[in-house]
Amino acid sequence: MLFRALAAMGAAIALALASPATGFALRSYWAAPFSETTHTPTFGQAPVFVPHTDPQLVVYGKDFKTGDKNQVYIQRFDGQGPATCLTCTGPGSETGNVNGVPAVSPDGQWIIFHSWRGHYLTIGSPGYGGMGSTLWAMRTDGSRQTQLTDVQPPTAGPFNGEGVDDYHAYWSPDGTHIEYAHLNWNFVTGGGEGKWDVRVAEFHVTADGTPYLANTNVVRPANGHWYETQWWNPNPKRPGFLYTETFPTPSGGGAAMTPQLFYCQLVNHYSACKNGGTRLTSSESWDEQAIFTPDARSVIFMSSRAQPGIFNTWVNLAQTLGLPNDYDYLLVLPLFEAGFLQPVGQESTDLYELRLRYPEQVRRLTYDGDEGWITPEFTWDPTNSFLMWTDNRFPNGYRYQFPVELDEWVSHFQSLLENPPGPDIVNVGQNGVGVAPLPLEQRTQIGVFTR
């Protein structure tokens, strides 16, 4: 928190400086202690706040196992009252109505969400990467649901738009643009080669209240690398966003399928990343999910660097052999599933902080990965007072993390059989992934920087 000496009062009084860009802020997030607590209720993965609401509202994607599949819900942050489904019905919901990963506009008026509606070829889960997602927008009450990307003409055949994916969309701090990652496997009508790119588009609303995107620019090319887009710089005077890209080592050596964190400072009317993007991390791990601190001086990100596992083992091998990145678009799905979506040698992750000007300076914020937790997407509350995220993990006994002796794991598994998980353990499909028939533990965490 920033402090000023108020001479008129004759004493030093702490004041929290606020502005439209930063809100609540500390003097230095880099030097501030960080702590976390578990919140009730537990939201779905990738929860985000709806600004300018009282009581405070949260939206998230989740499958409550009631037959509606994964949908976007809105609920009070304090857990009072029911969770209301926003996408269980709506235009195009007759086919493939699975939705997730909502993103709320800074003015709290619009929600962008990721949907499989109308698609037959689907892999993974909408919004997390895979195949079949297109971007939709709706009002925060669920009205005005409108498809934004890959809109097919009325004369198009039923399979004309298959093989694409638009995911991990985020709003610019002024609400005028969104950025997202795009996959194109539509080799029938879309010239697709199965590669990703990164796009920035203008968000508009017509006079009759219909949302649409315009002036879409590809700011990172379809080069065979895997991309995932992250949060924007909160300073609107320096437009740009964080993103993950599988990229060779800084020396130029090969390191196939090594996701690292980059910053895209936008130039030329949002049509390109300055200098092609700035590398922020260079570790032998999976670095992803990143957000700026409110002062825009530090970046908080998720990494698997602290724990050994199948994926980190792969990265070491890829660097040793100098494997090229040309085929990352084919490797990403099997390596991600092997590293994160099955219990043997599963990676776990923690939150880290780096300084934007000195990215080699990194400090660890959480130690949940030591207990097998995976920290995915996270967000600030509307006042920038705390972070929120939902952890996931396989229960003790199911996980066979490295390093552990086989007899130790057998002992854990025997204990699990004798004391099976209770009703609070949910199926992995709650996040819409549905790739492993194993129970999954979830918890929503609150992280706070203190002076």
Q: What's the pLDDT at 159? A: 73
Taking residue 444's Cβ as centre, other Cβ atoms within 10 Å add up to: 22
Q: What is the pLDDT of residue 26?
A: 75
Supply the pLDDT for residue 336: 58
Rounded to the nearest angstrom, the gap between the alpha carbon of residue 294 and the centroid of all alpha carbons in its chain is 18
Q: Identify the H or E element spanning 317.
A: helix 310-321
Query: CA-CA distance, 14 to 30, in Å (whole number)?
Result: 19
Determine the Cα–Cα distance for residues 129 and 123; give it in Å rounded to an integer.
Answer: 8
What tokens does 237 get?
């005077």
Cα–Cα distance, 191 to 123 (Å, whole number):
20
Paired tokens of 396: 């003790």
Bridge partner list, 352: 301, 364
- The token duo for 193 is 């080669």
The three-state secondary structure class of 262 is strand
Work out whether the CA dihedral 22, 24, 29, 31 comes out positive or negative.
Answer: positive
pLDDT value of residue 16: 34
pLDDT at 264: 97
- Is residue 137 helix, strand or coil? strand
With tokens 């199911």, the residue in question is 398
H or E segment to which residue 416 belongs: helix 406-418
Distance of alpha carbon 308 from the chain centroid = 22
In angstroms and rounded to an integer, the radius of gyration of the C-alpha atoms of the chain is 22
Does the pTM of the predicted model rise above 0.75? yes
Burial (CB < 10 A; 0-12, 13-18, 19+), residue 316, is middle
Neighbours of 370 (CB within 10 A): 12
- Walk along the chain (451 residues) and give the pLDDT tens digit of each residue: 333 333 333 333 233 333 333 445 677 899 899 999 999 999 999 999 999 999 999 999 998 888 888 999 999 999 999 999 999 998 888 888 999 999 999 999 999 999 999 888 888 889 988 889 999 999 999 999 999 999 888 777 767 788 899 999 999 999 999 999 999 987 566 677 888 999 999 999 999 999 999 999 999 999 888 899 999 999 988 999 999 998 876 656 666 667 889 999 999 999 999 999 999 998 877 889 999 999 999 999 999 888 876 666 666 666 666 666 666 666 666 655 555 555 655 678 999 999 999 999 999 999 998 888 989 999 999 999 999 999 988 776 666 666 665 566 566 556 655 665 554 444 444 444 433 445 678 899 999 999 7
Among 349, 308, 353, 355, which residue's Cα sits nearest to residue 445? Answer: 349
